[in-house]
Amino acid sequence: MNIEIVAFYEGDRNDEKELVNGTLHVHLIDIGIDLRGVFVSKKKDYWFFRLPSRKANDESDQEILYPIFSFRDREKTSDLMDVIKEKAKSFVEDYIKAHPETQQKEKAVLVIKSTERKPKVRMEGMEVNNVPTSLQKIEDSLSKPIASIKTKIFVDPPKRKEKSWIGEDKHER
């Protein structure tokens, strides 16, 4: 089977642990198919490849992987995986060498020091710690008992105008 690996899309990566996860874009030249989402995982010398699939639960609530792409002949599918494994290993290793891991990706971390005091904000002469009057009104309305359904009076909606379709031609509607 003749294939071309078009691209590797990196997911997680840790060069210290020699860990790389991502997906491949593979072009099947013989058939003219672009296959995207071939999962690749490398941990040290161990490689794992999987064709695109979706997870679902069967009747007994066991998780099942349903393939998105496969050939009717299982042997063709396994041949495709063998060819992808051969070519993808060198392609991903070349990608890793060409794109060294950048320094730790900057993650937004919010650090709150316990010694810092929050500034007091004043609203119309009131401190924030006191409940504003609008919130007090809401609390008061929530504390009142809610009328039960038995005490509510239900009214039927107005009746619709009657239209008779009997005896009319279908085209006159």
pTM of the model: 0.55
Query: Quick one: pLDDT at residue 169?
Result: 52
31: which 2 tokens?
């058939």
The per-residue pLDDT string of the chain (173 residues; one tens digit each, 9 = 90 and over) reads: 899 999 999 988 888 888 999 999 999 998 999 999 999 999 988 999 999 988 888 888 888 888 888 899 999 999 999 999 999 999 999 988 888 875 445 444 445 555 555 555 454 445 445 545 555 666 666 666 665 655 667 677 778 777 666 655 555 54
DSSP letters along 63-121, please?
A: EEEEESS--SSHHHHHHHHHHHHHHHHHHHHHHHHHSPPPSS---------TTPPPPPP
Query: Quick one: pLDDT at residue 29?
Result: 92
